[in-house]
Structure formats: C-alpha cells, structure tokens
Chain A
Amino acid sequence: MRIAPLSCTLLLPAALFAATLAPRAAWSAPVDDVRAPMAMPGDEFVAQADVSADVDMDDDNDPLEGLNRGIFEFNLVVDSWVIKPVAEVYRDVLPQEAQDSVRSFMRNLRTPVTLANNLLQADMDSAGNTVARFLVNSTIGILGLFDVASDLGIPYRGEDLGQTLAVWGIGDGPYLMLPILGPSNLRDTTGTVAEWFADPVNLALDNNDLEWLIYVRAGLTGIDARSRSIDVLDELQRTSLDYYAAIRSLYRQQRANDIRNSRPSDDQGRPNLSDAETSSLPDDIVSFRPSR
C-alpha cells in the first residue's frame, strides 16, 4: 500500500495511453455514440442484422474470451462456496434497515470520490446533489447511516472513474472478467484501480495503520451488493443457456445506463431533469426496434 500512489500514477496514464493507441474499431462505441440517436447496441444490430453473423461476434469485444470464461468459472466456484453463502446470511440475518444503513454508510464514505467524478465530468447539478446528500446524511442521517436525503427527494447518483473516462470519450475497451470482482472492461478496471488508491478515505486509513479497514470496507460493500442481487442472478442462471454471455451483455447494458445517468428513477419530481424526455438524450431508451 505504501507504493500505492506510485502504482496509481503509473497505471492510469499507461491505460489511457493504451486506449489512444488501440485501433478504434477494436473498441466499442464511445459514449458520444451512446447519446446519439439510434446508436444503442441493439440498434446497430437492427441496422446490420442482415449483413453478417460476424457482427455479433465483433460487438462483444471480448478478445480474451477463453481466459475470461476460465476466470468466470473460478468466480462461480468462489461465489457458490463463499461469497453467496455469506451474502445470504447477511440478507437473512440483518434486518432490512441495517442492510440499508450499511449501503448508505458506504455510499456516504464514497462522497469525495463521487464528488471528484461529478466535477471531472463538469456535472455541476450532480455535484450539488452529492454535496447536499453528504451534508444531510452526515448530520440528520447520523454519519451517513440513514439516507434521509433520498427521502427528501435527493436520490443517490453513483459515479465512478470508469464513467468519467467514458464521458471523456474513452471507449470501454476489451471486456475483462476480473477474479472475485467480476465483470469489467479495460476502462472500468483502470477506474477501479485508480479509485482504490486515490480514495481519500482509503489513504487516511492507510496512513494511520488501519489498512485492514480498507478491506473491511471493500468486503462489506461487496457483500451488500451481492446480497441485493441474489434472487435476480439465481433466476438468470437458472434460465440462461450461456450464463457467461448473459452476464457480459448485462454488464454492458448496465454500464451504458449508468454512464447516461438516464435512469427514470432519477428524475422523479425533478423538473430540471425532465428534459431527458425532450431534448439532449433523444433515443436513450429504445434499445432496439424490431422490424415490423
């Protein structure tokens, strides 16, 4: 951890450099395309559907598929023996309010990182949202344990460095299945690594010989997240023919959705966001339109 800042400063530029060097075609659509009309992944397909079957293959941008599938198998084993059982205990033993407080507390701790990303994206509206949430939840919400801000109409909006890089126009790069951490891509992995080392809370813990708390924090965040997806992932695994490919597609769609910040849940009762309907995000919603 002592060399952390060093590795961070080395890794990020290296990855960014790689991103600029890599042939554009090998990277999937930059975010500008996602915002453009009819440029959702599905639409590409409608346009190209009758051209060649290879389109589907290219679009997955998964040059390391063999390795990724191997790691995925490993992850499934670790998940079924360790992570999921722990997540189930967490879900079944802790009261719902406690689980919500864990998530709320962890989100509040992430404030510096979220705010930095809001600012790096020049998203002042979200930056204000982040600050307001922090002030409300850290005080009335008792150190972030209660998400009072959401109830006051200031819902959580997650941001991370991967999304910021995407907003800057960097494509997601090859799909990567990370051991334990799960689905990612080169861009998001870069973001995750950089955030791990740059997070002020982690740095403060590290500087005070409390490095173990960094892992507790990461572990709790992960278990909380896993516990919330048990049912959905069980269902997906039960009904899927190729679980790996299903997860790969879901990850892509989820990240595209995160990057667009276009969740309808975010604009409830927020008139300033209702323009998502009318202007700048024309076809953000229609994933595809089956031919008539």
Chain B
Amino acid sequence: MTFVAKRRLFAALSAAALLAGAFALAPTPAHAQDAAPAQAAPAQAAQSDASKFVQELGDRAILELTDKKISDEERVNRMRAMLKQSFDEVAVARFVLGTYWNRATPDEQGEFTKLYETLVSYTYAGLFKKYSGETFQVLRERTVDGDTVVYAQINQPAGGQPIPIEMLVRNGDGGYRAVDIKVEGISMPLTHRKEYASVIQRNQGQVSGLIKILREKAAQLEKGGAAN
C-alpha cells in the first residue's frame, strides 16, 4: 500500500468515525422540523368541492385509522366503512378485473367486489396502523374529462420528504367518489390489476380460480387480525 493509499484509507476511516461520532453529538436537526410547517401553510385557501372531498377523506383516514387505542378488527371495520362510503367500489373492481370482468358471471362479479373490499380494507388498515402524527394536505387539482385528479401529500411528523398522493375522484349520483389512488406515483388498483391477471393466467384463465384464492386470502386475513 502506498503512502497515498494509506492517507486515503485514513481519510475514509476518519469519515467513518465522524459518521459514528456525529450521531452522538448531533441534536435532532432543527431545520428538519422547520421544513414541514413552512410547506403546510398555502393549501387551505379556496377549495373546490372535489378538493374538499379529498381533504375530508384524508383527514378522516388519518384521524380514524391511526388511532392507537382501537383494535385491529375495529381499524379494518373503519377502513371498510370508508371504502363503502367514499369509493366507487364497483368501478374500481371492474378496473382491477379488467378484461376478465366481462367473462365473469354476475355472481362472480359480486363476490369479487366484496372480497376485494375485504382485501383492500386489511391492506390500508395495516399501512395506516404504522402512521403516527402525519397530516394530510390537499395541494391542487386538475380536471380530466369530467373527473378530477386531486394532488395531495402526507406530511411526516419528523420532517423529511412529504409523501405525494394523487386521488382520482368522480362526481356521481351520491356525490363524490374516489376511483383511484396513487401513492408516490404507484397506483394500488393498477398493481392489483396486474397481479390478479397473473393469478388468473396461472389458473387456466379462470376467474373462478382467482376468486377461490381470494376467498382463502380473505379468510386468512380475518383469522390473523389486521396486522402482524
């Protein structure tokens, strides 16, 4: 090893030592906390009905689902109630089944919609359980062919990058309903659509194959509680 190499090794090691030492010394970086409130201010101005709907939905989700005092079962029930009330469940189920929706019998369509609701309830209940102190903030919106995309974010209590949310809402007979939600650019219904198409293909193209597996998964989740 040359002298230069040794010196660089030393530099690298001191960096590592510094790395270790800095944590012991560094207070919680104050700037990290300044950042979030600074961003939190502008949104609440004049909101459209669509934005108001999404803001209320987000607030309700955080208020009801992050409650540490409730049981896992109660958390799932609350999520399910929100799905029923604020989501266009049939539109989402149709999208998730995609081309297979029309191949399914009405009974299968109905059962799929119900099982999917159960699965999504457990999924979101499990995710929200980990939350604590987050806030939901609508930023802006955009209209696309009669539907509205509402851009929002979840602000994290310890600072850090807010989590971007996009919700697609539709104004129907019963008021606004959500039909898609994207978290950090990733759509859960789209992911399920791809996943379930794969399941159906691996079951000889039979929707009944998917439904059987969904039933088992739902039973397993109901037995196991809302989160591990």
A positions within 8 Å CB-CB of B: 41-42, 45-46, 48-53, 55-57, 60, 94-98, 100-102, 105, 142-143, 145-146, 148, 150-152, 155, 204, 208-210, 213, 231-232, 234-235, 238-242, 244-246, 248-250, 253-254, 256-257, 260, 262-265, 268-269, 277, 283, 285-292
Interface size on B, residues (CB 8 A): 85
**B122 CB-CB contact with A under 8 Å:** yes
Q: What is the 8 Å Cβ interface bit string for chain B, positions 89-107, against chain A (1 contact, 0 not)?
A: 0011011001110110000
Residue from B88, B91, B185, B201 within 8 A of A256 (CB atoms): B185
Could you tell me if B9 and A208 are in contact, using CB atoms closer than 8 angstroms? Answer: yes
Q: By the criterion CB–CB under 8 Å, are A290 and B91 in contact?
A: yes
Do B99 and A51 touch (CB < 8 A)? yes
| Inter-chain contacts of B205 with A (CB < 8 A) | 53
Q: Is the CB of A95 within 8 A of B22?
A: no
Main secondary structure of the interface of A (DSSP, over half): helix
B144 with A289: CB separation less than 8 A: yes
Q: Could you tell me the distance between the alpha carbons of A52 and B201 in the complex, rounded to whole angstroms?
A: 13
Cβ–Cβ < 8 Å partners of B38 in chain A: 269
Q: Which residues of the partner chain B approach A257 to less than 8 Å between Cβ atoms?
A: 184-186
Pairwise interchain contact B122-A239, C-beta atoms closer than 8 A: yes
Are B102 and A50 within 8 A (Cβ)?
yes
Q: Mark out the residues of chain B between 157 and 197 whose CB falls within 8 Å of any chain A CB in the assembled complex.
A: 158-164, 166, 168, 170, 179-180, 182, 184-187, 189-197
Inside 8 A of A209's CB, which chain B residues have their CB? 1, 5
Contact of B162 among A48, A97, A148, A265 (CB under 8 A): A265
Partner of B198, one of A42, A142, A232, A245: A245
| Majority DSSP secondary structure for residues of B touching A | helix
* A/B interface sample: 7 pairs, CB < 8 A: A57-B197, A208-B4, A210-B5, A239-B122, A242-B199, A262-B185, A289-B144
With a cutoff of 8 Å between Cβ atoms, the chain A residues found around residue B161 in the complex are: 150, 155, 265
In the bound complex, do residue A56 and residue B197 qualify as a contact, i.e. CB atoms below 8 Å apart? yes
Binds A, one of B48-56, B60-68, B77-85, B210-218: B210-218
Which residues of the partner chain B approach A45 to less than 8 Å between Cβ atoms? 98-99, 193
Q: Is the CB of A268 within 8 A of B190?
A: no
- Is the Cβ of B94 less than 8 Å from the Cβ of A146? no
Chain A proximity of B41: nearest CB distance (Å) = 10
Judge whether B190 and A253 touch: CB under 8 Å: yes
B127 with A268: CB separation less than 8 A? no
Q: How far is the CA of A155 from the CA of B191 in the complex (A)?
A: 28
B8-61, CB < 8 A from A: 8-9, 12, 15, 18-19, 22-23, 26, 28-29, 31-32, 34-35, 38-39
Question: Which of A46, A241, A253 interacts with B186 by CB under 8 Å?
Answer: A253
Most buried by B among A46, A48, A242, A257: A242
Given that A142-B22, A209-B5 are known contacts, is A242 also in contact with B187, CB under 8 Å in the complex?
no
Contact B23 A101 (CB under 8 A): yes
A residues within 8 A CB of B185? 253-254, 256-257, 260, 262-263
